Structure 1
Amino acid sequence: KTTYVLLSAPWNVLCYYAEEISLRVPLQVVTTPISNWSEKILEKLHIPNIMAQDVPNLPLDYYTCQFHTNKLERFLGHENKDTFFKTTQRHQILYEILARTPYGSLNRGEVGIGRLVSENVLTAAFPLHEGPSEMPKTPVDPQSLNMRQILHQYWARWACWRKYQPLDHIREYFGEKIALYFAWLGFYTGWLLPAAVVGFIIFLFGIWLMVTDVAAEELCSSGDAFVIYHNLFSKYLFINFIFMSLWAVTFLEYWKRTSSILSHRWDCSEFEEIEERPRPEFTALAPMTVRNPVTGAEEPYFPKTQRLSRILTGNMVIILMIAIVLIFLIAIILYRTILSIIIYRSQNAGRIASLTGSMLNLLVILLLSRLYTYLAKILTRWEMHRTQTKYENAFILKVFIFQFVNFYSSPVYIAFFKGRFVGYPGNYNTLLGIRNEDCGASGCLIELAQELLVIMVGKQVISNIQEFVLPKLKTWWHRRKLKPAPSQEVIDEPDRQPELSPWEANYQLLVCEGLFDEYLEMGESLLQFQITVFYLNVFSNVIYSCDVKLNFQHHYAGFQCHVILI
């Protein structure tokens, strides 16, 4: 039988810890209206804004400052103790208390609820969601909807794909870190639209030139076989380079501006992790404790010299994994060459070898990425970083370096090395006894575009399918494990299902692990951004439009509520 413990805190405890953790509370309502820059442009041009929507219960924007008990009367809403602290702030305070509370020996680091959960003393610890997410069956006033219902109706549905994201509502319910992530994803998706449009136009011009160009017509009509003309849209390359250079610079500058505006508005521009707690794993495995010179408390400690030696060992593993990526690249090159020799009688031998090689390369990229992410997690945990922030930074750096080589090795080879070391008749260069690859009559540009298409689109499509399918499978399996044996009442009346309490319903949801994996995906987004700048990828806009909705479903539909730490 599962036992649930519902925790709350009295007013004086809330005030004490709110001051202790420097919680920001409202002083005055900001009366300046907030609008999107595209709204202003469309309004001036008198064009209907199809992206706008009237979302109810818009959270107010406040001037805030750090809470002090002796200045309570100066804060907005101090008269009502039940509503002065928001629900998310109460969650934050309670989590702070639970994370600091010792349950055993301080010398062994037996502190905090995080370690209790990691050691399976407790099976879960989570705040409750604010009401149901399903819309009422009967029509109701939109202002009476809770925040989960509003987010479901005005954000989660696929019908809202072209609407502005309700970022203030997202921030109110999920916190600043998750809101900033979705702000970045929506901003990036919107800015990919002009790049995709220009790329599609240039592609159409290339097709038109291929048909109307005199030299191409003479070449293609000279024999029975159709030969793709190499100079597909060279007349517009200069325009392409200028546009993408301006697009990339403008995108980065506007994102800096948008990020600064949101950070200032949401009071996280000056956020610093000054007194971040040690990770539960660190406190459990640290070999010694030292006295903190600021707080005077005994804290777990790991010698810097030992950590440095472990970091150097981890770097050697990174170099080894990069070498493995290059070995697989050579193997795929040999595969394409050998397959071309085997099926040389086919008119499309080179194209078949190239396409199957690209698909095989995508499979290798996905397998090596999964393997290295698992290995990097073990190495980073072994390095014994004290705080969660340092742990995440070290882990993300390892994964990004490897993913950079993993993603770029094949396109860089095709773009800059393939066909450069072929040799000449009578003296061809070889690799392991096999003649080096050469580009076709049309050059390597088509093969490069094919490689990028398979890697970028294939990787993102597979990732989106996983984000859509895996949470549903995990939720089904999790609920199946937790499903209790049927009671006598249910056996007698099979149509009657017992109504679950809020904590039982929340316990059946998956544990929310935050946005750590999504921030790792942002590293992949950076790689795709670079490829977009170089090659004008048309598909990224559609893919990331789906990614916004799938990421929401990943964090909203079947997951427990999480504690907002920022």
Structure 2
Amino acid sequence: MSSHYPHGDSLPKHGSVVYVLQFLNPFDEANEAALGVAMKVKDARLNFLRIYKTTEDNSEKQIIPQIAEDQVWWLKDKISEEEKATDITKKDFVISVISSVLHTLKYEFNLDYYLLQSRDRDEIFCKIFVTDEWAKSIAIETEYNLQFRLREKFVEAFQQVGPYGPATLLESREKNEGLFKRYDANGKEVTEGGSLFTHTDKSRLLIEFLMRRVDLHALKSTGVMIEDFCVHEEVPLNDLRTRWASFSALFKSQPIDDVQTYFAEKITLYFAWIGTYWAFMTIAAIVGLCSYIGMRVFGDNTVEGAAFQIFFAIFLAMWGSAFEQYWRRHEKRLAWRWGTNELTAQESQRPEFKGTYGKDEVTGKFKILPLANEGKCFKKCVVYSIVLLSCVIVVVAVSFIFLLRYTLNQNDDTKKFARIVPAFLNALQIRILNIIYGKIVTQLNDWENHETDNQHNDSLALKMFLFKFVNSYTALFYMAFFKETFESKEYCTDKSDANVDCSDATIIDKLFKVEPGCKNCLGDLGFQLGVIFITNMIMNVMELGLPWLKWKIKIQKEANKVAQSNDPNMRKDLYPVEYDSKLEPYETPLDDYMEMIVQFGYVAMFGVASPIIALLALIEITLEIRVDAWKLCNLTRRPDPNRSDSIGVWLNIILAIAYAGAVTNAAIMAFTSTVFDQFDFNISVLMFLLIEHAFIVLMYVVSAYVPDVPHTVQDGLDWGKRLVSEKLISWKENAKEVHAEYSSSQGHEAFLVEKKDFHYQE
């Protein structure tokens, strides 16, 4: 299988480029100042060993490549303390590290690579190639799951998805290679020929294998490597751009399986979730539009109009719960289809996790160990105190906005602005404070020093949601339940309505009675929601501008450097790998989830104030799907193929909002609308409790008695396990032992990389 070639040989003629390591060019004049600084040998050794996940104290096994120790004097096992106190240049360190990593790729991992200089020559791109043979050997060693090919038509629904079995079955003397699905170069399933692995499979196998040996974050933190990323594929990416990431596809269904093939499960789950949310919002928009028309035709204060309002409130309470329950079952179907139901979460440490590097006594592996006196409880108290303070700032800001509203209402000349100006100020306040708080809470969450990505992301999501709940909904809660308590009767927007009872009670009287005055003043609440939605839609389209601008600046900066160069041989064009490197990274859809879940809260909790809001929400979601898809396909690098079987903590947040929506809708019906206007306040409270309890009990019953895992999925999983078990029993009878060991044989070329090893043309 091996096709080793010296650093200076031509591009490999087989295999696929799946991953890129982007290094600083140690031989470029532009980098001389940064690389000419001195560093202590002791520090250089420490950093080098850290890259290979070991320390000076690890004497049990040779971890770093032996040739590195043989060729680099400051890496030798036995050098004196005086020598450790001497200096080497950063350039020597960078060259040694790059050379060692390249040696590991070629002679330990048996991988081909190609070294390409950027057009301005200050960076080196190491393009790593993966062959089917290499992927097969690693898949067997790691028991990577591949999907069975269904060769016959099964009648039962649970037999329509092929089970996933370990690649170890490929070792059998039986013809098990025909057992698994095969794919063409673009990831499409084929009946003849093809590869056992998609590009995503190869990327995942390479990244997991590479991370066992080399700490990529340490490579970046030491200044040797700039970035590492998966490469885009031209044909399938252009296909997704046309069929999915395009505004011409606004009303077409998403090709979810193709998105999963290209971007893997974690990101695809977001788009599957927002697609499901779109479908449910379509239903809400239709029902809301009908309710809105009914309320306008008959009048809000008639029995018929009130009936439409009550119906929509009941619908929203059930709609939110139904959405959460349906998605819970749907993500199980997707996990079954994608083979992630049995996914065992392998929690790896975050590269940014801070602690002391050493040997874990439990696993025996070297890792970052938590600090003994880190003060986690103290940090949590400080962080959540700041979160609370931020929420108080929101309340103060909203208070000033409504104070402005009150002031404008005092003068006949400014009264016409009393509705629209505060509404837009509130929409801007929400956006601006979200941005400021987002930056602050990200730093605070990093300071808490979470060990794994899941812990980090879940903690950040919770803090973000707590603030955004207050920031997004405070003004709406005020307008729905407290506005007329604090504003005197002459500023009631519906005072022309004969059914509105604006009593002469003072603000103090109303405060002590805790009884809302001026019922049916929902017009301002609906208007406020409309302004927020319109502002969000404009901002969502504008959000494409920032990553595009960053990309444009990078391209222009490099183009200016090339134009000012005196080298006539300097390339003018960008190769695809260079183009990819200029794009923004896409790490997690956290912000996208948050934006849509806040919108879900607007509809679920306050939609009854203006049923037409559901239609505006539908328009926003329709745009959001294509904006996010376009951003992913055009403005960001290809994300690492992370797997997932669920949207995680977001599911609990959706459930919490659904229950909050049931309470809010019951309160709006009882206290803010005219539905129970003929009753006194005590009767309204009683009706609120009855309606709210009825909503919550019904939601709970539905949730408790509808299974989270559909019967088809469970039957399919059981059937798949039986098929895989039968194959494994047969395999064990003639299995061969496979021991994967690192090879340390050295080729004929020099160990240390040289300037001539870096290509400038492909």
Query: TM-score interval w.r.t. the shorter chain?
Result: 0.7 to 0.9
The within-5 A match list for 1:152-301 is 152-210=241-299, 233-274=305-346, 276-282=347-353, 285-287=354-356, 289-301=358-370
Is 1:363 matched up with 2:434?
no
**Could you give the per-residue CA deviations for residues 472-513 of structure 1, whole angstroms, max 9, x where no partner exists?**
222211211232514999989xxx985543322322333333
Determine the structure 1 residue equivalent to 2:225: 122
What is residue 145 of structure 2 aligned with on the other side? 24
Matching residue of 1:324:
393
Q: CA 1:417–1:555 in 2, change beyond 3 Å: closer, same or farther?
A: same
Alignment of 1:58-73 (within 5 A): 62-68=162-168, 71=171
Q: How does 1:370-381 map to 2 (within 5 A)?
A: 370-381=435-446
Determine which of 200, 205, 215 is the counterpart of 1:88. 200
TM-score normalised by the chain length of structure 1: 0.76
- Which residue of structure 2 aligns with residue 405 of structure 1? 470
Q: Secondary structure of 1:418's partner?
A: helix
Change in 2 beyond 3 A, CA 1:392/1:298: closer
Alpha-carbon distance in 2 for matches of 1:281, 1:463: 31
Shift of 1:177: 1.4
SS in 1 for 2:147: strand
Residue deviations 1:218-240, cap 9 Å, x none?
xxxxxxxxxxx799932422322
Distance change in 2, residues 1:69/1:160 (3 Å): same
Compared CA separation, residues 463 and 289, structure 1 to 2 (3 A): farther
In structure 1, the gaps of 5 or more residues are: 37-59, 103-111, 132-145, 214-228, 432-437
Q: Does the alignment pair 1:510 with 2:510?
A: no
Change (3 A) 1:81 1:113: farther
Structure 1 residue 84, shift from structure 2 partner:
2.5
- Deviation of 1:300 (Å): 2.7
Residue identity opposite 1:345 in structure 2:
D
Sort the Cα spacing of 1:98 and 1:421 in 2 relative to 1 into closer, same or farther, 3 A.
same
Contact 1:289–1:298 (Cα < 8 Å) also in 2: yes
Counterpart-to-counterpart distance in 2, 1:532 and 1:147? 42
Task: Name the counterpart of 1:224.
Answer: none
Match of 2:99 in 1: none
Cα pair distance change 1:307/1:251, threshold 3 Å = same
* Structure 2: unaligned runs, 5 residues or longer: 1-120, 183-191, 489-502, 644-762
Distance 1:532 1:130, change over 3 A: farther
How is 1:37-52 mapped onto 2 (pairs within 5 angstroms)?
none
Cα distance 1:293–1:504, how it changes in 2: closer, same or farther (>3 A)?
same
- 2:622 is aligned to 545
| Structure number with higher relative contact order (C-alpha < 8 Å, ≥ 6 residues apart) | 2
Instruction: Tell me how far apart the structure 2 counterparts of residues 301 and 280 of structure 1 sit (CA, whole Å).
Output: 13
Aligned-partner Cα distance in 2 for 1:474–1:196: 37
Cα distance change, pair 240–525 in 1 and its aligned pair in 2 (3 A): closer
Larger radius of gyration: 2
RMSD of the TM alignment (CA)? 3.7
2:112 aligned residue? none
Q: Specify the alignment match of 1:392 in structure 2.
A: 457
SS of 2:477's partner is: helix
Check the 8 A contact 1:128/1:503 in 2, yes or no.
yes
Q: AA paired with 1:66?
A: P
Q: CA deviation at 1:296?
A: 4.2
CA deviations over 1:386-410 (Å, ceiling 9, x no partner): 0111101110100001101111111
| TM-score, normalised relative to structure 2 | 0.58
Aligned to 1:143: none
Task: Give the AA of the match of 2:398.
Answer: L
Map of 1:217 onto structure 2: none
* 1:353-397 C-alpha deviation (Å, 9 max, x unpaired): 122111111121111111111111111100110011110111010
Matching residue of 1:223? none
Matched residue, 2:129: 8
Matched residues in 2 for 1:447 and 1:242: separation? 22
Query: Which residue does the alignment assign to 1:565?
Result: 642
Distance in 2, Cα, partners of 1:456 & 1:290: 53
Q: Distance in 2 between matches of 1:525 and 1:515?
A: 16
Cα distance per residue 1:526-545 (max 9 Å; x no partner): 42342365443220111110
Equivalent of 2:418 in 341, 346, 353:
353
Matched pairs, number: 488
For 1:427 and 1:389, locate their aligned partners in 2 and report how far apart those are by CA, in whole Å: 52
CA distance in 1, matches of 2:505, 2:315: 45
